[in-house]
Amino acid sequence: MSYSNTSSSPSYSGGRRHKICMVSDFFYPRLGGVEMHLWSLSQNLLRLGHKVIVVTHSYKDRMGVRYMTNGLKVYYIPLPFVEDFIPFLQNSTDQLSMPTFQAWLPLFRNILIRENISIVHAHQCVSAMTHASLMHAQSMGYYTVYTDHSLFGLNDFPGIHLNKLLKFTLTGVDNSICVSHTCRENLVLRASLDPKKVAVIPNAVDTNKFVPDMRVRNGIKSNIINIVVISRLVYRKGIDLLVDIIPNVCEQVPNVNFIIGGDGPKRLIIEEMIEKYELYNRVELLGQLPHDKVRGVLVKGHIFLNCSLTESFCIAILEAASCGLYIVSTSVGGIPEILPNDMVTFAERTSAISLTNAVLNSLNVIHRINPLEHHKRVKKMYHWRHVAERTVTVYDGLRRKRPLFFYERVLTMLKIGQYFGIISIIIIALDMMLLQVIDWIYPKSEIERAPDFPTKDYARNLKQIHLDDKIRKGNTKSIKK
């Protein structure tokens, strides 16, 4: 039985109107790069006239169906967290849902049929929901797309097992997307994918929100330089390096202050550093920041410092550059791909000494920086509308005529390993048998269809939205034509 709905209807974006189900453990009210990517991409796909829903796990009392901006429909599924069963992993699992295998297949099937979905688009490999949803969607015959947001090793214990799981999940995926060329190379090696089926679509930033505030900038004392750090305070973000950098910089340059936004398990070592070196007046620790407060912190700074040990693409760097800050960062992962060399200084090595030298060298550059000019350059380079349009191009390229038969999936699974391939085949067989039982108990015809949002009235207004965009950009000549 085929579940996918490949029927097309016109949309103002110029092609088929797609009905997309975004799936990930990472979504609002959490804050981070994946969460912002999901939110911004979904909003811009809605503006292009496509239907988008998001499926994620519940957060405390946020459970069930919620509607967000522009009618974005979010299903918060009541799944248990890993830390509920393994308490000592509370600080390392980052609110990940417990792997459930086939347990949530009936509910996921109901959502896809009820919303008349045609494409399942899952994000981030550490999300258990991503692997389960892609497997179930392939069994039901839907088009599947996967987006990778992070870099992982090839020789460490977690990486080896995660990569093996990724091979199982992505073997039958129709297309994959990475946020940088470095991420693409990493994913192709980890999952043994055909490079032709992996696209590169970078993240972006809402430059209409992240705008320099010259009144705040000019209100800062002329001899004071503020260095801003906004990040989750975890090991991967290089917080252990940060606690060595701050005392060294403060000792050598008396007019430099630090503003740190974010929270996490490494906050304690920052507080200990402040107390040890008596930097109460030089370091401001803000704690967790709602995303709508980030811009208010960035406009107070002159330099944005990023100490990440690994990073596929750092949206925080784009946000800071859009607010007119000069960037100092480690040269890891896809970060060197983000900005031109004259907008950023890279540390030669991932060490506290190298980063300290990079910060000290950047102090001689910032007096030549024009924040408004920085903002204009970022605005030309990055826009979420472009990301959405390129993602739609990937959707339009999904041309599989029919779902894979079971024997075809068996043949592909045998390629991922002699023993793990057999285990994968057993899991897929159980998935498809359970699906047949569910079809018999609860037929597709008995599932009530949900009304689409945006409505046809909203779709008719899309042309006016595009005209408004042209007016905002000053392109009135094409409007008259």
Q: According to the model, what pLDDT value does residue 460 have?
A: 53
- Quick check: is 257 in a domain? yes
DSSP structural state of residue 73: E
Q: According to the model, what pLDDT value does residue 7 have?
A: 40
What torsion, rounded to 10 degrees, do the Cα atoms 121, 125, 131, 137 define? 20
Closest by CA position to 256, among listed 232, 228, 237: 228
Q: How confident is the model at residue 8 (pLDDT cuts 50, 70, 90)?
A: very low
Q: How confident is the model at residue 379 (pLDDT cuts 50, 70, 90)?
A: very high
CA 425/CA 153 separation, integer angstroms:
26
Residue that terminates a domain, selected from 362, 381, 400: 381
Same domain, 57 and 93: yes
- What is the per-residue pLDDT across 191-221, written as a single tens digit (0 to 9) for each? 989 999 999 999 999 999 999 998 998 888 8
DSSP structural state of residue 448: P
Same domain, 74 and 179: yes
Cα 138 to Cα 112, 114, 281, 394, 458, distances in angstroms: 12, 17, 57, 18, 32
Same domain, 232 and 373: yes
> Residue 199's beta-bridge partner residues?
177
Same domain, 41 and 156: yes
Share of the chain above pLDDT 70, in %: 88
CA 102/CA 108 separation, integer angstroms:
10
CA 79/CA 359 separation, integer angstroms:
44
Same domain, 365 and 460: no
- Quick check: is 4 in a domain? no
Q: Does residue 179 contact residue 146 with C-beta atoms inside 8 Å?
A: no
CA-based radius of gyration for the chain: 24
CA 221/CA 25 separation, integer angstroms:
44
Same domain, 241 and 327: yes
- Quick check: is 362 in a domain? yes
**What is the residue type of 316?**
A
What is the residue-averaged pLDDT of the chain? 87
CA 5/CA 97 separation, integer angstroms:
29
CATH number of the domain within which 222 lies: 3.40.50.2000
Residue environment code for 46-63, b if the CB has 16+ CB neighbours within 10 A, otherwise e:
bbbbbbbbbbbbbeeeee
Which residues fall within 8 angstroms of residue 204, CB to CB, at 6 or more apart? 40, 318, 382, 383, 384, 386, 387
Same domain, 311 and 238: yes
Q: According to the model, what pLDDT value does residue 471 have?
A: 58
What torsion, rounded to 10 degrees, do the Cα atoms 401, 402, 407, 413 define? 70
- What is the per-residue pLDDT across 332-357, written as a single tens digit (0 to 9) for each? 999 999 999 999 999 988 899 999 99
**What is the residue type of 327?**
I
DSSP structural state of residue 323: T
Same domain, 394 and 374: no
pLDDT at 9 over 80: no
CA 373/CA 368 separation, integer angstroms:
11
Same domain, 60 and 103: yes
What SS3 class is residue 473? helix
Q: According to the model, what pLDDT value does residue 320 have?
A: 96
Domain hosting 351: range is 214-381
Higher pLDDT residue, 345 or 471?
345
pLDDT at 119 over 60: yes
> Residue 55's beta-bridge partner residues?
23, 75
Residues in the chain, how many? Answer: 481
Same domain, 441 and 475: no
Burial of residue 276, with CB atoms counted within 10 A of its CB: 0-12 exposed, 13-18 middle, 19 or more buried: exposed
- What is the per-residue pLDDT across 155-183, written as a single tens digit (0 to 9) for each? 888 788 888 889 999 988 999 999 999 99
- Quick check: is 12 in a domain? no
Q: What is the pTM of this model?
A: 0.86
Q: According to the model, what pLDDT value does residue 185 have?
A: 95
Residue that terminates a domain, selected from 381, 403, 424: 381
**What is the residue type of 294?**
V
Same domain, 347 and 437: no
- Quick check: is 110 in a domain? yes
CA 66/CA 453 separation, integer angstroms:
13
> Residue 310's beta-bridge partner residues?
none
- What is the per-residue pLDDT across 25-63, written as a single tens digit (0 to 9) for each? 999 888 788 999 999 999 999 999 899 999 999 988 889
Residue environment code for 395-408, b if the CB has 16+ CB neighbours within 10 A, otherwise e:
beebeeeebeeeee
CA 115/CA 126 separation, integer angstroms:
26
Beta strands in 233-364, from DSSP E residues, in sequence order: 256-261, 283-287, 303-306, 326-330, 344-347
- Quick check: is 113 in a domain? yes
Provide DSSP, 9-54: -B-TTSSB--EEEEE-S--TTS-SHHHHHHHHHHHHHHHTT-EEEE
- What is the per-residue pLDDT across 409-432, written as a single tens digit (0 to 9) for each? 888 888 888 788 898 899 999 999
Average pLDDT of span 347-370: 92
**Could you give the count of Cα atoms lying within 13 Å of 183 in the half-sphere of its Cβ?**
29
Total tally of structural domains belonging to the chain: 3
Same domain, 259 and 319: yes
